[in-house]
Amino acid sequence: MHELSITQHILQYALEESEKRGASRVLAIHLKMGPLSGLVPECIQMYLDLLSEGTIAEGAAVKAQVLPLKVRCRDCHAESEITRHSLACPVCQSLRLQLLSGREFYIDGLEVEIHGNQSASSGNGME
């Protein structure tokens, strides 16, 4: 369980970004994570609620998107995106797959309020 330290980084990033943009509130934080990152969005939200108390990020929503798993088949060499529910090559049904991604995690963007105007923009990769 490393959501706590990750949430501290997310919050710090959100606050720094908001300050740069002159935002008065953080409305939402968009995250992208691989299915094998081991992170639970609900946990991040819970920690964020605790850590952001008294900051402009208080009440911000965590919006996490789980990315597909990218694999390369060792038999037919096709590169495919699969889900955790069907761990076989979609081309030849082989189970001999090499994992290309799935553990990544990054902040995809922030939604902030700037003097009453809502603004969304993309963030930077983080890990």
Q: Of 73, 107, 110, 112, which one interacts with Zn ion (CB under 5 A)?
A: 73
The helix/strand count (H/E) of the chain reads as 2, 7
Q: Of 91, 95, 114, 126, which one interacts with Zn ion (CB under 5 A)?
A: 91
Q: How far apart are the first and last CA of the chain?
A: 16
Residue 69 burial by Cβ neighbours in a 10 Å radius (0-12, 13-18, 19+):
buried
Classify the phi-psi angles of 116: left when phi > 0, otherwise alpha if psi is within -120 to 50, otherwise beta. Answer: left
Tell me the closest approach of the beta carbon of residue 102 to Zn ion, in angstroms.
17
Is 92 among the residues that bind Zn ion (CB under 5 A)?
yes
Segment interacting with Zn ion, rule: CB under 5 A, options 24-32, 43-51, 90-98, 109-117? 90-98
Is 61 among the residues that bind Zn ion (CB under 5 A)?
no
Is 4 among the residues that bind Zn ion (CB under 5 A)?
no
Binding site for Zn ion (CB under 5 A): 73, 75-76, 89, 91-92, 94
